[in-house]
Amino acid sequence: MIPAQNPPASEEAPPRFRLLSALSYCAPLLVNGVALPFFPMWLALHQFNDHEIGVILAVPMVVRVLVAPIVAMYADRMKERADVLLFSGCLSLLTAIALYWTNTFWPVLIVYTIQGATFACYVPVVESIVISGVRRWGLDYGSMRVWGSVAFIVSTLIGGQLIGRWGGEMVLPVMTFGFVTTVVMAIYCPRIGPTRRRGTPVDISAATGSSLRQPHLLALLIGVAIQQSSHAVLQAFASLYWRDLGFSGTQIAVLWSAGVAAEVTVFFLSRRLSRRFSAWTLIRFGAAVSVCRWILFPMHWGFWGFLLLQCMHSCTYAFVHTGVQRRIVASVQETQESSAQGAYFFYNGMFMGLMTIASGYVYAWLGLASYYVMALVALTGLGLVIAAYYLQPQSVVSGGQTREAA
């Protein structure tokens, strides 16, 4: 998904850059592989109600959106961006330990929000270091990034086994172990100096626009953010739903891992998909599958049925994300690419945070019928995506008669 650049002839990548970069991705996703599916179970174990769970999960999302860009800008000005990771990992570890002494709403909300703020920059800074390696030495981004997803799957499966055997109290110990690995990898993460501004990507077609204010691009980013926010009820309450259906911790872990595995498969096949389908087709298809997925989700399909529904994550997230990245590259100049990515991150984070807050109240009120509300949310996002397509400037190449398909 991210093109390599022609490496300077006189410079080589540091020793073990690929290995250490891959491990640096693994560390934070070991945490996420437990926190995302199982932290709601820890909250439920401590008698938090549905809307309290929604608020506790959502507020850190909003804080992350506000904090991550600021810290990332600061990291770009440092001699070594990796130094930020040490502060992030250590402070996040302290908040994980603090959760052992918090079991009421306000203390948990405050500590978990601080954790969201301190941990927000970890993955973006690792991402920037890896992309610098791609630009400077022509390394393959996917071969390093994919190990983070593998770590997420492994963490989820092991966490499910432990929680299935010893209960929800195992969530914090596993999360704490994950934060310890972030501190260790912050020490060993590649040190490659400050950011550079020389060089340009290869194999990227010229952008068709020059401004982030293009109506079709804004409509696309907001539409996709709304569609992605329809995952809020799934992320907050799916584990509790499956537990109530009698699924074991291991089965719940497999269901979560299946979604990530399906997502990884799409990323592996992204080049083939890009040759066969336009970006707009991928986005619209993924958004349409979201509507179907949430309509089907409240029905009791049994383990294998839910496994199939989880595999739809390949469409509802990975298809959409891949398509949006292609549209950003095609719509803005390279000098605005980072700003476009920032806008995409901001819209996604804000809508997901707000929808997660709402999901707690909606789930407490409607129960499983809240997934039908998420289907309407996804449908709204799909409508904006379709509108964005028709707002798109007509192709100059075709004489203004057709819209761009890329």
pLDDT value at position 341?
A: 63
Structure confidence at residue 32 as a pLDDT band (50, 70, 90): very high
Q: What is the pLDDT of residue 395?
A: 45
Residue 333 pLDDT:
65
Please report the pLDDT score of residue 397 as a whole number: 38
**Domain containing residue 260: CATH number:** 1.20.1250.20
Q: Could you tell me which residue, 13 or 18, shows the higher pLDDT?
A: 18
Give the angle subtended at the CA of 96 by the CAs of 91 and 98, to the nearest 5°: 95
Backbone torsions φ then ψ of 321, nearest 5 degrees: -60, -45
Q: Are residues 262 and 162 in the same domain?
A: no
The amino acid that residue 271 corresponds to is R
The pLDDT-based confidence of 338 (bands split at 50, 70, 90) is low
- In the 3-class helix/strand/coil scheme, how is the chain assigned residue by residue? CCCCCCCCCCCCCCCCHHHHHHHHHHHHHHHHHHHHHHHHHHHHHCCCCHHHHHHHHHHHHHHHHHHHHHHHHHHHCCCCCHHHHHHHHHHHHHHHHHHHHCCCHHHHHHHHHHHHHHHCCHHHHHHHHHHHHHHHHCCCHHHHHHHHHHHHHHHHHHHHHHHHHHCHHHHHHHHHHHHHHHHHHHHHCCCCCCCCCCCCCCCCCCCCCCCCCCHHHHHHHHHHHHHHHCCHHHHHHHHHHHHHCCCCHHHHHHHHHHHHHHHHHHHHCHHHHHHHCCHHHHHHHHHHHHHHHHHHCCCCCHHHHHHHHHHCHHHHHHHHHHHHHHHHHHHCCHHHHHHHHHHHHHHHHHHHHHHHHHHHHHHHHHHHHHHHHHHHHHHHHHHHHHHHHHHCCECCCCCCCCECCC
The answer on 330 and 227 residing in a single domain is yes
pLDDT at 400 over 80: no
Same domain for 269 and 194? no
Residue with tokens 């979604």: 259
pLDDT of residue 404: 52
374 or 405, which is more confident? Answer: 374
Higher pLDDT, 212 or 131: 131
* 99, 108 contact by CB (below 8 A): yes
Print the domain residue range for 272.
Answer: 204-406
Q: Which residues of 288-306 are buried (b: 16+ CB within 10 A; e: fewer)?
A: bbbbebbbbbbeeeeeeeb
Q: Are 122 and 83 in contact (CB under 8 A)?
A: no
Give 394 or 16, the one with higher predicted confidence: 16
8 vs 249, higher pLDDT: 249
Across 15-24, 164-173, 223-232, which has the greatest mean pLDDT?
Answer: 223-232
Residues 175-227 pLDDT 10s:
999 999 999 999 999 887 765 544 444 333 444 444 567 888 999 999 999 99
Q: Is residue 336 scored above 90 in pLDDT?
A: no
Distance CA 134, CA 13 (A): 10
Looking at the predicted structure, is the pLDDT value of residue 240 above 70? Answer: yes
Residues 186 and 334 in one domain: no
Spatial separation of the C-alpha atoms in residues 177 and 179, rounded to whole Å: 5
For the chain, the domain total comes to 2
Q: What is the rounded CA–CA span in Å between residue 404 and residue 397? A: 9
394 beta partners:
403
Confidence at residue 67, expressed as pLDDT on a 0 to 100 scale: 84
Q: Which residues contact 60 (CB under 8 A, 6 or more apart)?
A: 112, 113, 115, 116, 117
For residue 75, pLDDT beyond 90: no
Q: How many Å apart are CA 287 and CA 302, to the nearest integer?
A: 25
Note if the pTM is more than 0.85. Answer: no
Contact 23/188 with Cβ under 8 angstroms? Answer: yes
Mean predicted confidence (pLDDT) in 47-55 = 91
Res 144: pLDDT: 82
Residues 230 and 90 in one domain: no
Query: How many Å apart are CA 158 and CA 168, to the nearest integer?
Result: 13
Mean pLDDT of the chain: 84
236 and 161 share a domain?
A: no
Q: Smallest Cα–Cα separation from 206: which of 50, 334, 309?
A: 334
The whole-number pLDDT of residue 394 equals 64
Statement to judge: residues 45 and 144 lie in one domain: yes
Residue that is last in its domain, among 148, 182, 203: 203
Q: Are 136 and 14 in contact (CB under 8 A)?
A: no
Do 344 and 226 fall into the same domain?
yes
CA-based nearest residue to 228, from 263, 274, 252: 263
> Would you state the pLDDT for residue 9?
47
pLDDT of res. 277: 92
Which of 203, 228, 245 lies at the terminal end of a domain, its last residue?
Answer: 203
140-149, 265-274, 292-301, 320-329: which has the highest mean pLDDT?
292-301
Looking at residue 208, its pLDDT comes to 44
Residue 138 in this model has a pLDDT that exceeds 80: no
Residues 51, 38, single domain; the answer is yes
What pLDDT, in 10s, does the model give residues 90-108? 999 999 999 999 989 999 9
The pLDDT, as a whole number, for residue 102 is 93
Q: Based on the domain organization, do 79 and 54 belong to the same domain?
A: yes
Task: Give 148's pLDDT tier (boundaries 50, 70, 90).
Answer: confident
Which residue type occupies 105? Answer: F
Task: Please give the share of the chain, as a percent, with pLDDT higher than 70.
Answer: 85
Q: Span 335-354, mean pLDDT?
A: 75
Angle of CA points 347, 221, 56, to nearest 5°? 25
- 245: tokens are 């259906």
Q: Are residues 77 and 141 in the same domain?
A: yes
Looking at the DSSP bridge assignments, the partners of residue 403 are 394
Cα separation, 259 vs 264, in Å, equals 9
Residue 205 CB burial class (10 angstroms; 0-12, 13-18, ≥19): exposed
Q: Do 187 and 208 reside in the same domain of the chain?
A: no
- Look at residues 181, 203, 225 and tell me which one is the last residue of a structural domain: 203
